[in-house]
Amino acid sequence: MKLEDLPGELWFTILSYLSPLDAFYAFNNMDNARIHSILTDMYLIRRDEDNCSSIINISLAHIPLFMYNFAVSNVISFYSNIIHSLTLSNDQTPDQINNFLEKYSFKYDFTYLKCLHLIEPSSNEFNLIINDLSNINMLNIQSKQMHSFDINTIQQILYNKPTIKHCCLSQFRQDFILNNSYSFIQKLNINSCDYLCFINILNHFYLLEKLSINILSMSRNAVLSSIDLIQNPVLIKNLKIRAFSIPFDYFQILFPFLENIQIFSFAIVCDEGFDYVNNDKWQMIISNYWPLLRKFHIYSELWHLTPIDFDELCPQLFSFRNDSFWTERQIQFMIDFYQDKNDVHLIFYSSPYPDKRFSNQ
């Protein structure tokens, strides 16, 4: 049996292990109508007068030069106006984005592009690309130099691009926010921001339904005033936070405003945080403020515990495991300890905790 005579189902299984770029490269030299038809069906390639679309996801990140040249010359040149998702990167491939912009224009060549991921773009490249975007639904900007980017361009993403519903940023700062302006963002993923900025996000992004913050911190001299509290309704249904050394009280004052929350994933690492493993407090919060909650995930890591701390914590920790409030919701909790030199640290988490990158499970 020839390769092109394999059943269609087997072809789709084989192609599922390849990226679109790998698939096009592997079969580039095969002049076979059936294989071309299979690739067309695999990536839902449609071309007609009223609807050009596909699910082609092209990533040029971390690829060798020969593959980049093939993609630019043989794939993107042919499919640019129907590519669904595109990733460009200067990381480990210096000057790739500039080289790409010399050949293609986001204003004219990527009419139906819906998702764009930029890794370590320069400030100038960032400005050029953002100004030319029109139909993007999802934008992911990953950069260690985001502090040098033009604030106006970032605000353009957040407030002046109504098609962008999902945005991922390496960093979020206070000056990104425009008072008295309306954002269309519904999903926001942030690698790092501080606590006061987090409150401002809740206050100003009225349509936000999903918020994820990978590193939430708080400066030691931060002062919380009544002005900083939530002033507007919060629509967020899915909240994921990984916090570091923030007292429980600073979250507890926000929890009553999250009445629409359905999925809550929370991780904390701190030296002092007994309230994060307080059974009564979590039950009160869920019962009184979160009537729509469907999933509750918590991961708490408490450092530098003393024997007195253990005596205080143990009854509270074990009360989680034997309480019908949690068993009825099919939520189980695990307790673990580890020692670092002379220090003992506690890990307390709901099982399974969904973020394995953070937990020590």
In order, the DSSP letters of 313-338 are: HHHHHHHHHT-HHHHTTT-EEEEEEE
Is the pLDDT at 54 greater than 70? The verdict is yes
Average pLDDT for residues 55-79, to the nearest whole number? 92
Question: What pLDDT, on the 0 to 100 scale, is given for residue 360?
Answer: 43
Question: What pLDDT, on the 0 to 100 scale, is given for residue 66?
Answer: 93
* Residue 100 CA: distances (Å) to CA of 68, 153, 240, 312: 10, 20, 35, 60
Longest CA–CA span in the chain (Å) reads 75
Q: What is the mean pLDDT of the chain?
A: 88
Percent of the residues in the chain that have a pLDDT greater than 90, as a whole number:
58
36 band by pLDDT with thresholds 50, 70 and 90: confident
51 vs 325: which has the higher pLDDT: 325
Percent of the residues in the chain that have a pLDDT greater than 70, as a whole number:
92
Residue 89: what residue type?
S
Is the pLDDT at 354 greater than 80? The verdict is no
Query: Which residue, among 343, 252, 351, 349, has the nearest Cα to 298 in the 3D structure?
Result: 349
Give the H/E segment covering residue 12. helix 8-16
Look up tokens 């299984």; give the residue: 13
Question: What pLDDT, on the 0 to 100 scale, is given for residue 13?
Answer: 85
The Cα–Cα gap between 297 and 282 comes to 11
48 band by pLDDT with thresholds 50, 70 and 90: low
Average pLDDT for residues 74-84, to the nearest whole number? 89
Is the pLDDT at 33 greater than 60? The verdict is yes
pLDDT digits (tens, 9 = 90+) for 181-230: 889 999 999 999 999 999 999 989 999 999 999 999 987 776 665 555 77
**In contact, 210 and 241? CB cutoff 8 Å:** no
Average pLDDT for residues 81-110, to the nearest whole number? 93
Residue 140: what residue type?
N
260 band by pLDDT with thresholds 50, 70 and 90: very high
134 vs 258: which has the higher pLDDT: 258
Is the pLDDT at 352 greater than 80? The verdict is no
Question: What pLDDT, on the 0 to 100 scale, is given for residue 361?
Answer: 38
* Residue 130 CA: distances (Å) to CA of 116, 135, 161, 262: 10, 11, 9, 33
49 band by pLDDT with thresholds 50, 70 and 90: low
pTM: 0.89
Is the pLDDT at 50 greater than 70? The verdict is no
